[in-house]
Structure 1
Amino acid sequence: MTKMLEIRMARCVLYLTESELQRLLSREPDLWKLAIGRGKGIARAKQTRERVTRKVETERRPD
């Protein structure tokens, strides 16, 4: 079975395959660029939060 992507919206849930999503986004190159940039920003923020959490936990540990 093909892996489906779940997209939750206000009043519905969409299920698309990766190729279907790529086809939709290929019609709007600016939207594709925006989505990629947003994804990179979210990934960086998540990585930074995890890094800070690990640092705080390390500093709290008694020697």
Structure 2
Amino acid sequence: MNIECSHVLCGSSVLPHIGYASTFGFFSGGYVALTAIVLVDLVGINKLSDAFGVLLLFVGIATAVGTPIV
């Protein structure tokens, strides 16, 4: 998604790049911060480590398979 969104900024000054990077980083940070909170709500605190491991397994598989396709 970063490549699709950032092509608009080609040839422009540095200020739009700073705005885009800060917006992208802010919302990406929200995803990272909320992952553990959502997992605790779904599976409970006792199974958090197992659920986080399974989540990272599927994220890794999706990254390995999806990256060459895109």
TM-score, scaled to structure 1: 0.50
Could you say which residue in structure 2 is the equivalent of 1:45? 30
Distance 1:32 1:23, change over 3 A: closer
Larger strand share, 1 or 2: 1
Give the 3 Å change call, closer, same or farther, for CA 60–27 of structure 1 in structure 2.
closer
Separation in structure 2 between the aligned mates of residue 34 and residue 56 of structure 1, nearest angstrom: 33
Equivalent pairs counted in the alignment come to 45
Q: Please say which structure displays the higher CA radius of gyration.
A: 1
Q: Which portions of structure 1, spanning 4 or more consecutive aligned residues, are displaced by more than 3 angstroms?
A: none
Question: More helix per residue: 1 or 2?
Answer: 2
**Could you tell me the TM-score, scaled by structure 2's length?**
0.46
Structure 1 alignment gaps of length 5 or more: 8-17
Alignment of 1:1-63 (within 5 A): 5=4, 21=7, 24=10, 26-59=11-44
- In 2, distance between residues paired with 1:23 and 1:55? 39
Q: Secondary structure at the match of 1:35?
A: helix
SS at structure 2 position matched to 1:54: helix
